[in-house]
Amino acid sequence: MRLLKRPVFVTLILSLFMLSIAVTGCGGGNAGDESGSSEPVKWIANSVWPPENHQSVGLKDFAEKAKEATNGKVEISVQTGGALGYKGPELLKVVRDGLVPVSDMLTSGVAGDEKIFGVVTLPFLIQDFEEGKILNDIARPYFDQVAEEKWNQKILYIAPWPAAGLWSKEEVKAVADMEGLKTRTYDKNGALVVEATGGTPYPLPFSEVYSSLATGVIDSVLTSTPTAVDAKFWEVLNYYAPINVTMATDMVTVNLDAFNKLDQESQEALINAGKEMEEEMWAKVAQLDKDKEALCNEEGITTVKPGQEYLNELAAVTEDIRQEWLQDAPPEAKEIVDKFKQEVGRD
């Protein structure tokens, strides 16, 4: 057989190599489509809350829904208890930059980076759980837009917390009793409430709350019943006043770049799983609040129901907080509040 000359031989080998790459690429799905591979897309989801907290449990449930809805194309591994080292206020940036693809985050807790998220915890704006849901539904389109356009992430679902009350070492039945309290708060609005009532706010991360109570750094906490159970407040506190200062929510978001790499079917499946998860979380939290309060009572916490005079005092001393927040907030925040007041028939 006559041998090919070297240049012809090299050209033939290179041509066969390029052809093999082209053929292999045909089976890889669309460019940038992670789910086109036979291997599932694997995401880590961050939660700062303890494993048994209802937000952590909800995130785990969502991970299961996501896997089922995408037929195994997306697998989410949930890391709870702040295991990844994030404390919370920085999580908008963390997800934006892809340091973790999925995370829950306290909506008002990231308002330092995006002020509109603070609208959900304007003190004494809502009066009950149902109004909290109305406020969330009105705010959601605004939140979706700012998350995607400014923060490179998509909101998968928003889940509520029971309304925040005051947990304290001494009994509190009036605004005068709040003077001088050293109170842990979880966002700026809560801090302003404490200041307005004559106390000192301490914006501590959740991981430092128990030790701060035990050592006397603080003597009270503004938070909800599940958090009280998580922190075993009955070991360091005595009273609970359900004054409904605010009703916080948690957002669960995914990095938009990671989300956009999925095929359209998987994207739609995740969105639908998020809607289902959101409905479930809102449905069960009202009963959760009652159950957690009852558990605290069994362990030794005394619930002190606030009288109407006390609630009226609180509304009066916090009116300026709501108005001042709205003056400096984005115009969209005022739209949300105006729509909410119109919906619930309140001036």
Torsion of CA 327, 332, 337, 338, to 10 degrees: 100
Predicted TM-score of the model (pTM): 0.77
Give the confidence band of 286 by pLDDT, cuts at 50, 70, 90.
Answer: confident
Average pLDDT over residues 44-66: 96
Tell me the C-alpha distance between 342 and 72, whole Å: 44
Residue 75 buriedness (CB in 10 A; 0-12 / 13-18 / 19+): middle
Q: Which region holds residue 82: left if phi is over 0, alpha if psi is between -120 and 50, else beta?
A: left
Same fold, 34-160+249-286 and 165-246+294-344: yes
Least confident of 23-32, 142-151, 193-202, 273-282: 23-32
Tell me the C-alpha distance between 183 and 193, whole Å: 10
Give the confidence band of 20 by pLDDT, cuts at 50, 70, 90.
Answer: very low
Separation of CA 179 from chain center: 31
The angle subtended at Cα 52 by Cα 49 and Cα 50, nearest 5°, is 25
Name which of 245, 305, 285 is nearest 125 in CA terms: 245
Considering the domain 34-160+249-286, what is its CATH architecture? 3-Layer(aba) Sandwich (3.40)
Higher pLDDT, 298 or 13: 298
Tell me the C-alpha distance between 140 and 43, whole Å: 24
Q: How would you write the chain as a 3-class SS string?
A: CCCCCHHHHHHHHHHHHHHHHHHHHCCCCCCCCHHHCCCCEEEEEECCCCCCCHHHHHHHHHHHHHHHHCCCCEEEEEECCCCCCCCCCCHHHHHHCCCCCEEEEECHHHCCCCHHHHHHHCCCCCCCHHHHHHHHHHHHHHHHHHHHHHHCEEEEEEEECCCCEEEECCCCCCHHHHCCCEEECCCHHHHHHHHHCCCEEECCCHHHHHHHHHCCCCCEEEECHHHHHHCCHHHCCCEEECCCCCCCEEEEEEEHHHHHCCCHHHHHHHHHHHHHHHHHHHHHHHHHHHHHHHHHHHHCCEECCCCHHHHHHHHHHCHHHHHHHHHHCCHHHHHHHHHHHHHHCCC
Average pLDDT of the chain? 89
**Distance linking the first and last C-alpha atoms of the chain:** 97
Pairing of strands 239-241, 302-303: parallel
> What radius of gyration, in Å, describes the C-alpha atoms of the chain?
25
Q: Render pLDDT for 229-248 as a digit per residue (tens, 0 to 9).
A: 989 999 999 999 999 898 99
Give the confidence band of 134 by pLDDT, cuts at 50, 70, 90.
Answer: very high
The percentage of the chain sitting over the pLDDT mark of 90, rounded to a whole number, equals 77
Q: Which two tokens stand for residue 100?
A: 């973790």
Q: Does residue 3 have a pLDDT over 90?
A: no
Give the confidence band of 37 by pLDDT, cuts at 50, 70, 90.
Answer: low
Residues β-bridged to residue 45: 78, 102
Considering the domain 165-246+294-344, what is its CATH architecture? 3-Layer(aba) Sandwich (3.40)
pLDDT given at position 94? 98
Sign of CA dihedral 204, 210, 214, 215: negative
Helix 264-299 and helix 54-69, axial crossing angle in degrees, nearest 10:
160
Domain chopping of the chain, boundaries: 34-160+249-286, 165-246+294-344
Give the residue carrying structure tokens 């340091």: 99
pLDDT given at position 5? 47
Higher pLDDT, 27 or 194: 194
- 276 phi, psi to nearest 5 deg: -65, -45
Q: Does residue 122 have a pLDDT over 80?
A: yes
Q: Does residue 29 have a pLDDT over 60?
A: no
pLDDT given at position 24? 35
Give the residue carrying structure tokens 């790459």: 21
Q: Render pLDDT for 177-190 as a digit per residue (tens, 0 to 9).
A: 999 999 999 888 88
Q: Does residue 196 have a pLDDT over 70?
A: yes
pLDDT given at position 26? 34
pLDDT given at position 31? 33
Least confident of 22-26, 95-99, 145-149: 22-26
Give the residue carrying structure tokens 């957002």: 251
